[in-house]
């Protein structure tokens, strides 16, 4: 077991004991301070903010239990080990119930104390690391922002993720990030090391979705040429994410309800009941309560799924979170494309803040990806924004360089055609300047060669189209 060094405070009125403990703990690399009274100990704890406190149960001016309660009231984050005399075990146990990490009884063995301290400090470090990784999971998932609704949502996700709640329902408009919330819950949970299995309930024909979920034996139905393992089984010890749960066929809802009630299920064609331990996160943009009352969704399944309900706010209600997301996505796509992030002008930022975002975060993400591909490292002005994002009476002069063809009021070309045309011109120009060498052309545009070739394929540009041969640059670059 590795050693974890820490700042330790000893609060005990036996000076000889404090002295011997100090020598022993300093030999192990800890920084140790001593206090002979409760008052001195509380003052030192507030000033030093130690990671660990050894606290005697009986002090001349106050009991150790009172000191423990005051430490908690003053929000001292230190772990506390109570030191009790022989026969005070009951009081020591009470101290543990009040929040002490452990207790030791006099006389004690220094090696045993050292081991106890080491275990407590490593546990404390693990908790700190877990908290950090949960926070990182929130940030990396794009669940960020300072709007009150978003801060409340993130805090709730963190609480739910670390809880034992096994059934979670995520509600929100299309594009708000329901799948991101499901992944964040999984990543920040004790099940993070287990599988995250996702299925879109609207993406498969009704006759196949049961086999996809619960599996099927060979020959169980036409086309079942081999045994099929279902996603429920694959999600064992992890998380099963049921997206678009409102589209699940009614006959299958009864089987899902049975699984949710006891973890048991039966593959198609099998006579053997199986068990899976999976946290289930379901998501929908439908009003399931209304669907249940109208008979379009099983009411008992709705209540079983809705143990914990998370509502994701639409982007239009998140205020300046739009700018935080723009910065996040700009950095993400710039790293992917090996380019500098795009920058939005002040008027472009305001236009995006004013926009209603019917496609929510997904719409914003797609926009930033498009700009990063077309104009890496460029400042984006209002003229480059899609027409539907703008009030045409407020569009100022173009500020983007190079400027894409402005959308025309008659719709020819439309914004997608204009962007594709501009991208094609940039690609051909780079090829021309690089004498047809794709690697050099990619460098001129500030993107990776892989990304450059991917765009060539998407735009249908070949060496002949660019009037240059490949020149075997695959081997050169």
User: Would you tell me which CATH number, out of the four given (3.40.50.970, 2.40.110.10, 1.20.1250.20, 1.10.8.60), belongs to the domain 315-403?
Assistant: 1.10.8.60
Q: Is the pLDDT of residue 33 over 90?
A: yes
| Nearby residues of 261 by Cβ (< 8 Å), 6 or more positions away | 304
Beta bridge partners of 283: 170
Q: Cα–Cα distance between 212 and 199 in angstroms, integer?
A: 9
Does domain 410-477 fall under CATH 2.40.70? My reply is no
pLDDT score, position 1: 42
Q: Pinpoint the residues of the chain covered by CATH 3.40.50.300.
A: 141-313
Look up residue 264 and give its DSSP letter: E
Q: Which tens digit of pLDDT belongs to each residue from 457-477? A: 777 776 444 444 333 343 334
pLDDT score, position 108: 83
Q: Pinpoint the residues of the chain covered by CATH 1.10.10.
A: 410-477
Q: Pinpoint the residues of the chain covered by CATH 1.10.8.60.
A: 315-403
Among candidate residues 284, 257, 85, the one with its CA nearest the CA of residue 179: 284
Q: Mean pLDDT over all residues of the chain?
A: 82
Confidence of residue 310 (pLDDT cuts 50, 70, 90): very high
Q: Pinpoint the residues of the chain covered by CATH 3.40.50.2300.
A: 7-129
Q: Which fold has domain 141-313?
A: Rossmann fold (3.40.50)
The CA–CA distances, whole Å, from 22 to 36, 264, 321, 473 equal: 13, 56, 51, 69
pLDDT score, position 419: 66
- Residues of the chain with pLDDT > 90, as a percent, come to 36
3-class state of residue 260 by DSSP: helix
pLDDT score, position 418: 61
Does domain 7-129 fall under CATH 3.40.350.10? My reply is no
Measured in whole angstroms, the distance separating CA 166 from the mean position of its chain's CA atoms is 18
């Amino acid at each position: 077991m590795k050693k974890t060094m820490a700042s330790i405070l000893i609060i005990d009125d036996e000076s000889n004991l404090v002295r011997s403990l100090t020598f022993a703990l300093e030999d192990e690399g800890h920084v140790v301070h001593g206090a002979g009274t409760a008052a001195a100990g509380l003052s030192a704890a507030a000033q030093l903010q130690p990671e660990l406190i050894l606290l005697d149960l009986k002090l001349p001016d106050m009991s150790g239990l009172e000191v423990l309660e005051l430490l908690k009231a003053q929000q001292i984050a230190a772990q506390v080990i109570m030191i009790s005399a022989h026969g005070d075990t009951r009081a020591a146990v009470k101290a543990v119930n009040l929040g002490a990490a452990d207790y030791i009884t006099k006389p004690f063995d220094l090696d045993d104390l050292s081991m106890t301290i080491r275990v407590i400090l490593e546990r404390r470090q693990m908790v700190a690391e877990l908290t950090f990784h949960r926070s990182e999971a929130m940030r990396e998932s794009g669940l960020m922002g300072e709007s009150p609704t978003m801060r409340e949502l993130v805090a709730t996700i963190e609480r739910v993720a670390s809880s034992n709640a096994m059934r979670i329902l995520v509600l929100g408009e299309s594009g708000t990030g329901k799948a991101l919330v499901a992944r964040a819950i999984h990543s920040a949970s004790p099940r993070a090391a287990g599988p995250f299995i996702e299925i879109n309930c609207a993406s498969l024909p009704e006759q196949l979705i049961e086999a996809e979920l619960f599996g099927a034996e060979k020959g169980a139905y036409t086309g079942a040429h081999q045994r099929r393992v279902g996603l429920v089984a694959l999600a064992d010890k992890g998380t099963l994410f049921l997206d678009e749960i409102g589209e699940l066929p009614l006959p299958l809802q009864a089987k899902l309800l049975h699984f949710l009630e006891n973890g048991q299920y039966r593959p198609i064609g099998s006579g053997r009941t199986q068990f899976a331990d999976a946290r289930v996160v379901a998501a929908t943009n439908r009003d399931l309560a209304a669907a249940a009352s109208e008979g379009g969704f099983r009411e008992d399944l709705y209540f079983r799924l809705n143990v914990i309900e998370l509502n994701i706010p639409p982007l239009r209600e998140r205020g300046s979170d739009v700018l935080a997301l723009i910065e996040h996505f700009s950095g993400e796509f710039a790293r992917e494309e090996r380019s500098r992030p795009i920058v939005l002008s002040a008027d472009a930022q305001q236009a995006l803040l004013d926009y209603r975002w019917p496609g929510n975060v997904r719409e914003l993400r797609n926009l930033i990806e498009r700009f990063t591909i077309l104009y890496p490292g460029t400042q984006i002005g209002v003229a480059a924004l899609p027409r539907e994002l703008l009030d045409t009476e407020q569009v100022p002069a173009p500020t983007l360089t190079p400027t894409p063809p402005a959308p025309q009021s008659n719709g020819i070309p439309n914004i997608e055609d204009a962007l594709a045309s501009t991208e094609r011109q940039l690609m051909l120009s780079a090829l021309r300047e690089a004498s047809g060498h794709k690697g050099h052309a990619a460098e001129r545009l500030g993107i990776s060669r892989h990304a450059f070739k991917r765009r060539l394929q998407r735009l249908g540009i070949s060496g002949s189209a660019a009037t240059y041969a490949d020149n075997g640059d695959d081997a050169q670059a």
